Amino acid sequence: MNFLPYVVAAWLFVVGLYGIITSRHLIHLIVCLAVVQSSTYVLLLSIGYRTGAGAPIFANVPPGTPAVDPVVQALALTDIVVGATVTALLLALAVQVHKRRGTLDPNRLRSMRG
């Protein structure tokens, strides 16, 4: 069993979170969130991976040809769609913030405390 993809997935998750925590710019923060999300793509695809198997397309191949798991690929695809939606929405919010305040530094944008 090859652990490398799982290590990569864990690394992406952690490094993305680190980026979000230390971010000084909302756009940078949103990209870090996308990095965290890409960890889930790597994880899903590596779960369905089989050594030596082809893509799960069953046209023109004899029955019984090994293929990687199509379910996780469908999940990853859905995940990407979700990610695009969330990222677009957050970027739109960031654009509006910049219009009102002229800054994207989260430290200067706190308005709610306590």
Residues near another protein (CB under 8 A) are 9, 13, 17, 20-23, 26, 29, 33, 36-37, 39-40, 43-44, 47, 71-72, 75, 78-79, 82, 85-86, 89-90, 93-94, 96-97, 100-101, 106-107, 109-114
CB of 40 to another protein, least distance (A): 5
Closer by beta carbon to another protein, 8 or else 20: 20
**CA distance to 20, 83, 92, 111, per residue, from 69 (Å):** 32, 22, 35, 48
CB of 95 to another protein, least distance (A): 10
DSSP 11-53: HHHHHHHHHHHH-SSHHHHHHHHHHHHHHHHHHHHHHT--TT-
